[in-house]
Amino acid sequence: MKTLIEDSCAKLDNVRNCLSQVIVGQETLIERLLLALLCDGHVLIEGVPGVAKTLVITTLARSMKATFSRIQFTPDLLPSDLIGSLVYDPKEHSFSAEKGPVFANLLLADEINRAPAKVQSALLESMQEKQVTLGKESFPLPHPFLVLATQNPIEQEGTYALPEAQVDRFMFKLKVGYPSMNEEHQVMRRMARVAPKISVDPVIHLDEVLDMRTLLDKVYIDEKVERYILRVVHATRNPESYGLDIGRYIRFGASPRATIYLSLAARGYALLNQREFTVPQDIKDLAGDILRHRIALSYRAEAEGLGSDDLIIQILENVPIAEE
């Protein structure tokens, strides 16, 4: 088991090295993307323009032997632009399926919040059911299938708020901030050229990723850690049970997907750190990225300038690791 974990980590380190040739910093973002690959989870990345959200995803796709599609979401995008449509053949007097760009292993949904509800509905089926329905027939998507989406938090014109049901399908919601001054200096030196040539060759095959996923079930998670996950998620729904005076800031707490993803991500996180077991600190490290988009805030929280991250910090500080 230990040898298999070491081999898997070595392959993922090759992917990290590929990304580091192009991306400066963003270690947490890269780690979460690798974790999403291991756990078969979709990722929503939020950040201001120019912080390499799209670049890190396209570079990740190039480092893998996998099919990749990029869709720039716009207000006039149609579901058929995403999933495809039925095309009529006048000679055969029949319809045939013309598959859209969603039929790929990795789908980059750039500025996902710019598309209207019909497009989001079509994407939701793809994310949850891993299939696309054209007419009366359903077509399975390639395996694995991951949606890596980006959105801009500061621009509201021409955007649509994502449905809560769709947001809940994302395993992680990652926030990307500005680089440090030293990191930005490296970016400037690397990219401030007329034609910067940075190429990445594939270093890992999808079959190898699928083999790594089988190791997740072999990573041990103690029942005490599982009970800690349950308490953390329960605290988002009934904070007063843990002595937390934050109930007025929460409209509704995290869904059961939060417990599933926390358990799965904790084992993946242990695997990335070459461990055969999970520890409570794994839950604390991952809770923010898994819970922040699953806690619906009240108007009072917004009025007082509180975000979901602020509430998650309070929950992690007050929920005991061991049952009392």
Looking at residue 106, what DSSP letter applies? E
CB 147 within 8 A of CB 42: yes
pLDDT digits (tens, 9 = 90+) for 233-275: 999 999 998 888 888 999 988 999 999 999 999 999 998 888 8
- Statement: residue 324 has pLDDT above 90: no
Is-contact 228 279, C-beta < 8 A? no
Res. 153: pLDDT tops 90: no
Positive or negative CA dihedral for 88, 94, 95, 96? negative
Q: What are phi and psi of 24, to 5 degrees?
A: -100, 125
Q: What is the pLDDT of residues 134-146, one digit of tens each?
A: 878 888 998 888 8
Give the pairing type, strands 204-205 and 64-65.
parallel
Q: For the chain, what's the residue count?
A: 324
Give the pLDDT of residue 267: 93
Mean pLDDT of 8-15: 80
* pLDDT computed for residue 25 by the predictor: 75
Q: Which domains does the chain have, with CATH numbers?
A: 2-196 (3.40.50.300), 219-318 (1.10.8.80)
Strand partners, 297: 250
Return the beta strands (E) in the chain as ranges. 42-47, 64-65, 68-72, 84-89, 94-99, 106-110, 131-134, 137-140, 146-151, 170-176, 204-205, 250-252, 296-297
Residue 299: pLDDT over 70: yes
Q: Please answer whether residues 309 and 288 qualify as being in contact, where contact means their C-beta atoms are separated by less than 8 angstroms.
A: yes
Residues 63-67 have a mean pLDDT of: 83
CA-CA distance, 62 to 8, in Å (whole number)?
A: 19
Using a cut of 0.95, tell me whether the model's pTM lies above it.
no
Q: Is 52 left (phi over 0), alpha (psi -120 to 50) or beta?
A: left
